[in-house]
């Protein structure tokens, strides 16, 4: 006796979540096993299961990764980092504020992973010269990177996934470039203010490390191309923000211009792309389609609606479920799983899907409890010598704060 398709899809989903959680397999491998399993079980046609490598948001993120690479390779990101720490002087609180603000803004417009990575050696060097422990600076950096990602549609992969699912539904308009900032700006400002004024007290303290954070030495930068990269970057952001050029066209045109103008070599362009993100994105979007076409989304939606038919309570459940899972598995995968369910639940409750998908996007981005919750969290783990419990101790108040802010702001900005 064969299982109904919706249960088969849920079993595949459960296995994928287990593998993401335990990381018994590399994350991209788990993600690619999903369309394979969906094809073998007949839930999706192979052409459909693997079609998401051509998804418009996969194209956008690939292009933006390359443009980000040009900003780092030409030295512009390093200039911003050095200017920031020079402005802060010897004040560790001013340094924390400036680093969080600048890194958050950079993360909204560039790769938050790359932005964090370029700041790590710069900030550690300042910490060493000023006698401040890197433990006091690097975790706030990672948190600011996640908060900054909530400001734009390209700031973090979950935002792109939410837009992609809205687009695929053919019923709803995608969210605009800065529409995420309607909620994200409150998280960004209040989150940074909390860390600088109160949260720093929960950060671990330690001795100043005497070893270099970059033992391989400084990478040779192509600084003569800096202004070219800045012009390309500005063109892409303005094009996306105004809508004069489609997102995927603008991103890929900008990426190609960085190679044509010599900001990057072709090899450097390929190396700039986070292939883990691409495979996770493309693989798990097939899961999103599967749980929708098989009726699994309706099954989960009915379960949530049975818990409560009050939209506000369901909104809270979506945020909490997304945030909890994301602290232990890929935020890309979590957003891809929950976004179509959010739309289905909204339709069951006969309300707008936008507050639900926004809660899912924010819940998947604002995760501060573990070092594996986000790539920025992972990047600072080694250089600062943090432990797993350091993240939980410093992160749980910020996690709670983002939940409270979101539950207040989302229903106001995106009413049911």
pLDDT in tens, 380-405: 877 777 877 888 899 999 999 999 99
Name which of 159-173, 222-236, 349-363, 376-390 the model is least confident about: 376-390
Would you state the pLDDT for residue 211?
40
Reply yes or no on whether the pLDDT at 118 is more than 70: no
pLDDT in tens, 45-96: 999 999 888 887 788 778 888 887 888 888 887 787 677 777 877 677 888 8
Mean pLDDT, the chain, integer:
83
Reply yes or no on whether the pLDDT at 4 is more than 60: yes
Per-domain residue ranges of the chain: 9-41+51-413
Task: Specify the higher pLDDT residue, 378 or 53.
Answer: 53
Would you state the pLDDT for residue 330?
66
Q: How many angstroms separate the CA atoms of 347 and 78, rounded?
A: 47
Which string of b and e fits 381-390 if b means at least 16 CB within 10 Å? bebbbbeeeb
Cβ(325)–Cβ(54) below 8 Å = no
pLDDT in tens, 134-165: 888 889 989 999 999 889 887 787 888 888 88
Instruction: Kindly give, in sequence order, each residue whose CB lies less than 8 Å from that of residue 155, ignoring residues fewer than 6 positions away.
Output: 107, 108, 109, 112, 148, 149, 180, 184, 365
Structure tokens at 94: 């001013």
Regarding pTM above 0.75, the answer is no
Q: How confident is the model at residue 200 (pLDDT cuts 50, 70, 90)?
A: confident
Task: Specify the higher pLDDT residue, 275 or 122.
Answer: 275
Q: How confident is the model at residue 125 (pLDDT cuts 50, 70, 90)?
A: low
Question: Angle at which helices 56-73 and 112-130 pack, to 10 degrees?
Answer: 30
Would you state the pLDDT for residue 114?
64
Q: How confident is the model at residue 111 (pLDDT cuts 50, 70, 90)?
A: low
**What percent of the chain is modeled with pLDDT above 70?**
91
Reply yes or no on whether the pLDDT at 217 is more than 80: no
Question: Angle at which helices 92-109 and 112-130 pack, to 10 degrees?
Answer: 160
Reply yes or no on whether the pLDDT at 227 is more than 90: yes
Task: Specify the higher pLDDT residue, 289 or 179.
Answer: 179
Cβ(162)–Cβ(358) below 8 Å = yes
Structure tokens at 190: 């209040």
Would you state the pLDDT for residue 1?
56
Q: Which helix (H) or strand (E) holds 270?
A: helix 266-272
Secondary structure letter of residue 91 according to DSSP: -
CA end-to-end distance (rounded Å), the chain = 42
Structure tokens at 222: 């192509």
pLDDT in tens, 243-288: 788 878 988 999 999 999 999 999 999 988 878 778 877 887 788 7
């Amino acid at each position: 006796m064969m299982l109904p398709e919706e249960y088969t899809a849920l079993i595949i989903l459960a296995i994928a979540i287990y593998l993401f959680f335990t990381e018994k397999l590399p994350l991209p491998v788990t993600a690619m096993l999903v369309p394979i399993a969906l094809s073998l079980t007949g839930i999706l046609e192979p052409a459909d299961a693997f079609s998401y490598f051509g998804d418009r948001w996969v194209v956008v993120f690939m292009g933006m990764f390359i443009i980000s690479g040009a900003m780092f390779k030409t030295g512009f990101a390093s200039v911003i980092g050095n200017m920031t720490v020079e402005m802060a002087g010897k004040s560790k609180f001013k340094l924390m504020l400036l680093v969080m603000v600048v890194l958050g803004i950079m993360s909204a417009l560039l790769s938050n992973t790359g932005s964090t990575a370029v700041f790590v050696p710069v900030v550690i060097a300042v910490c060493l010269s000023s006698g401040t422990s890197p433990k006091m600076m690097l975790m706030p950096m990672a948190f600011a990177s996640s908060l900054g990602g909530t400001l734009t549609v390209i700031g973090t992969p979950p935002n792109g996934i939410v837009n992609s699912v809205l687009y695929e539904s053919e019923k709803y308009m995608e969210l605009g470039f800065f529409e995420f900032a309607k909620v994200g700006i409150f998280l960004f400002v209040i989150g940074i203010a909390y860390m600088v004024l109160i949260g720093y007290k929960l950060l671990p303290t330690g001795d100043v490390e005497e070893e270099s954070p970059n033992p391989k030495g400084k990478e040779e930068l192509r600084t003569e191309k800096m202004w070219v990269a800045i012009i390309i970057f500005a063109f892409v952001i303005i094009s996306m923000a105004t809508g004069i050029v489609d997102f995927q066209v603008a991103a890929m045109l900008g990426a190609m211009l960085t190679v044509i103008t010599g900001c990057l070599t072709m090899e450097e362009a390929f190396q700039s792309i986070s292939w883990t993100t691409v495979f996770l994105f493309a693989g798990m979007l097939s899961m999103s389609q599967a749980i929708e076409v098989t009726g699994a989304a309706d099954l989960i939606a009915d379960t949530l609606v049975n818990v409560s038919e009050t939209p506000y309570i369901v909104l809270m459940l979506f945020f909490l479920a997304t945030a909890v899972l994301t602290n232990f598995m890929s935020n890309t995968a979590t957003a891809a799983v929950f976004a179509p369910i959010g739309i289905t639940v909204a339709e069951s409750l006969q309300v707008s899907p936008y507050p639900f998908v926004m809660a899912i996007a924010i819940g998947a981005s604002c995760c501060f409890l573990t070092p594996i919750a986000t790539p920025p969290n992972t990047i600072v783990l080694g250089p600062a010598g943090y432990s797993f419990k350091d993240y939980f101790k410093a992160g749980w108040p910020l996690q709670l704060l983002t939940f409270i802010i979101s539950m207040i702001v989302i229903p106001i900005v995106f009413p049911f």
